[in-house]
Structure 1
Amino acid sequence: MLYLSRQTNGGFNMNFTQFNKNGGVEGFCLIKTVDRKMTAKGVPYLDLTLADPDGEINAKLWDYKEELHGEFSANDLIKVRGTVQPFNDSQQLRIERIRKVTEADGVRIEDFVPSAGFSGEAMFDELMKAALSFKDSELKALVTELLNEYKEKLLYWPAAFRLHHAIRGGLLYHTLSILRMAQGVADIYPFIDRDLLFAGVMLHDIAKTEEFDVAQTGIASGYTTDGNLVGHLVRGAMAVDRCGKKLGISENTLMLVEHMIISHHGEPEFGAAVRPMFLEAEILSSLDTLDAKIYEIEQACRAVEPGEFTPRQWALDNRKLYNHDRNHADFKAELIK
């Protein structure tokens, strides 16, 4: 392996295979940015930023012809071959061959983008296992039907465009994290309606699958028109109503679940249609906020050295946070045993 490394002014590493002694390399990477430009002579070329888990490099595809080379976008996973050359005290890849990754390559997207610590299939199975254990037949039917309906997207969808769990598989990771906390709370307070609480947890963000524009990488690039105009709280309640009526679920059951969805942001200023009005709705809202804050605080503190403060975090009341470094464990929730 050749690690292309710039040791001055910041440095980076790219994990490519060297195939000759003249800087010829090839490997798999992700397109972070791509722009079509023109040379001074009017010849089109692509200016790209390529990245893998070790770093990134600027790349150029000169004399670009779409019909020959293909069309490329940000977040495409590609195989590339070219020559590494010095450029402005750095290194640049002059691309000779480029194509999108195929299944035959055996390359995992999770190795190239920030991802949940568990596979989408494993997290989905945990949710389904919990739903199938419900004693309430209506909630069991409703939750399993909607989980299966949205399964394809749920397996890789992020929980956010930015901020908490904005990673591949982040939506299931966030949902399963809240479910585990809810199970603990319900064990302590046995008078809680477990099935209702867990149903609200599993469905509260399910319509985020319609809120973001997401590539196959599982990273959101922005909000959809529906996400801007309707949003996942209202769209989620609509999905519950639609599915529930198809299954013949009682109006009272649907009303309770819909209330949990439209109130889980807690306050109208944060997007809630109403404030939570019964215990299970309040628990869902509180655990949703807690899980988001745990993730955001850990991510922010991990980005600074021990004993240092983070920049102000606008999503956390514009607070600075302190990395005390008393716990050296990797950030990973114990969700699946």
Structure 2
Amino acid sequence: MTTKKLFDYQNDENLALFVLIKAADVRVAKNGKQFIAFTFQDQSGQISGKYWDASDEDVALFTPGKIIHLQGKRELYQSNPQIKIYKLRLATEEEPQVIEQFIQKAPVQTADMEEEISQVLFEITNPNWQRLVRHLIQKHQADFFSFPAAKTNHHAFAGGLAYHTLSMLRLAKTIAAQYPQIDAALLYSGVLLHDLGKTLELSGPVSTEYTVRGNLIGHIVLVDEEIVKACETLKIDINSEDMLVLRHVVLAHHGLMEYGSPVRPQILEAEVLHQIDEMDASITMMTQSLQHAEAGQYTERLFAMDGRHFYRPVNDQQLTQD
């Protein structure tokens, strides 16, 4: 008998299963009592739930990274799924204890991603860019291929950072083939480096949080610092035009200054990189949400996409439940 996962349960259905606590934020309700805002996770996805009137002992016991047995009911709140918690307890030694069993993973094996990305490095024909990118990928390799691309929203699963990068590389190669005026080597270099700072911004694939430098500085500035340090190590002139345009492509990839980029795209490859990044992130967020929607129904509202929700057509044959 197959054990049901979080998203195997329907709205208003009671549930009882083991889950991983991905996040546990302690807050205070209007009545002055504290509660815990949980994010529960298994390989089918993530759902929130509030544990009311939490004691100090509950706060100390139910922390991120713990596997628990959860009893409750799935329901909707403002069009978003959540768990009404009846009861929870820590898993015993005889019950599931392997965290990896509850973590979503990239749909491509790590070794395959490593191989495909390695091949693209040979297509970076500018020697300084290739040396720099190869150096930084090797420096952060373990984290780059295991970290998520975000705490929530897009590619928020183990290996999501590398998978997001790989998806963007595939798009970049197709676009560069269509538009020969694009400097493919610059675009590929920018794609490979643009989110590398997330290995410093985030804590890792389990119960992902922002690090102190992630919160205070952010991945865009962090990766630019890595580029500058790598140039010093490799004896590459940081003020050469090669390095200035590469740094610009990376620094401008969020498109707008209010979204975290210190500059807006001012060269062709920077704008293309920004558009590719937006496309891959948006498609991934929509796909994950649509997979959890019934045919003929709407998804929950996606905060990262202006609070919109999306309709899953009745005859949709491409999206299937995990």
TM-score range, shorter chain: 0.7 to 0.9
Shift of 1:314: 2.4
| 2:83 paired residue number | none
| 1:149 paired residue number | 139
2:302 and 2:308 in contact (8 A); partners too: yes
| 2:93 paired residue number | 97
1:328 lines up with 2:317 in the alignment? yes
Aligned length: 276
1:233 lines up with 2:220 in the alignment? yes
1:13 and 1:54 in contact (8 A); partners too: no
Distance in 2, matches of 1:54 and 1:163, equals 15
| 2:30 paired residue number | none
Distance in 1, matches of 2:134 and 2:11, equals 54
C-alpha spacing 1:52/1:262, structure 2 compared with 1 (3 Å): closer
Higher RCO (Cα < 8 Å, 6 or more apart): 2
Shift of 1:272: 1.1
CA displacement, residues 115-160 of structure 1 (integer Å, 9 cap, x when unaligned)? 1101223212211210123221111111111100000101210000
Equivalent of residue 137 in structure 1, options 90, 108, 127: 127
Distance in 1, matches of 2:211 and 2:218, equals 9
Equivalent of residue 311 in structure 1, options 292, 295, 300: 300
C-alpha spacing 1:239/1:326, structure 2 compared with 1 (3 Å): farther
Give the letter for the 1:292 counterpart. A
Distance in 2, matches of 1:272 and 1:328, equals 38
Give the secondary structure class of the aligned counterpart of 1:222.
coil
| 1:165 paired residue number | 155
Shift of 1:174: 0.6
Using the TM superposition, name which of 113-122 and 320-329 deviates more.
Answer: 320-329
Give the secondary structure class of the aligned counterpart of 1:315.
helix
1:277 lines up with 2:280 in the alignment? no
Give the letter for the 2:280 counterpart. D
Distance in 2, matches of 1:190 and 1:8, equals 50
Using the TM superposition, name which of 296-305 and 253-262 deviates more.
Answer: 296-305
| 2:175 paired residue number | 185
Structure 1 gap segments, 5+ residues each = 16-28, 35-47, 57-70, 81-89, 102-106, 333-337
2:21 and 2:39 in contact (8 A); partners too: yes
Equivalent of residue 205 in structure 1, options 188, 195, 212: 195
Using the TM superposition, name which of 246-255 and 205-214 deviates more.
Answer: 246-255
Give the secondary structure class of the aligned counterpart of 1:239.
helix
* Structure holding more strand per residue: 1
Give the letter for the 1:244 counterpart. C
Structure 2 gap segments, 5+ residues each = 25-37, 48-60, 70-85
Distance in 2, matches of 1:4 and 1:300, equals 19
Shift of 1:303: 2.2
Shift of 1:243: 0.4
1:128 lines up with 2:118 in the alignment? yes
Distance in 2, matches of 1:96 and 1:219, equals 20
Give the letter for the 2:242 counterpart. T
1:10 lines up with 2:10 in the alignment? no
| 1:252 paired residue number | 241
Shift of 1:52: 5.6
CA displacement, residues 237-267 of structure 1 (integer Å, 9 cap, x when unaligned)? 1111110221122322221111111110001
CA displacement, residues 42-93 of structure 1 (integer Å, 9 cap, x when unaligned)? xxxxxx999765899xxxxxxxxxxxxxx99632579x9xxxxxxxxx8987
Shift of 1:176: 0.5
C-alpha spacing 1:141/1:290, structure 2 compared with 1 (3 Å): same
Give the letter for the 2:139 counterpart. E
Shift of 1:305: 1.2
Equivalent of residue 284 in structure 2, options 271, 295, 303: 295
Equivalent of residue 250 in structure 2, options 261, 264, 270: 261
1:32 and 1:50 in contact (8 A); partners too: yes
Distance in 1, matches of 2:209 and 2:282, equals 22
Distance in 1, matches of 2:10 and 2:104, equals 24
Give the secondary structure class of the aligned counterpart of 2:93.
strand
Q: Which has the larger Rg?
A: 1
C-alpha spacing 1:143/1:14, structure 2 compared with 1 (3 Å): same
Identity %: 32
C-alpha spacing 1:227/1:261, structure 2 compared with 1 (3 Å): same
Distance in 2, matches of 1:307 and 1:228, equals 40
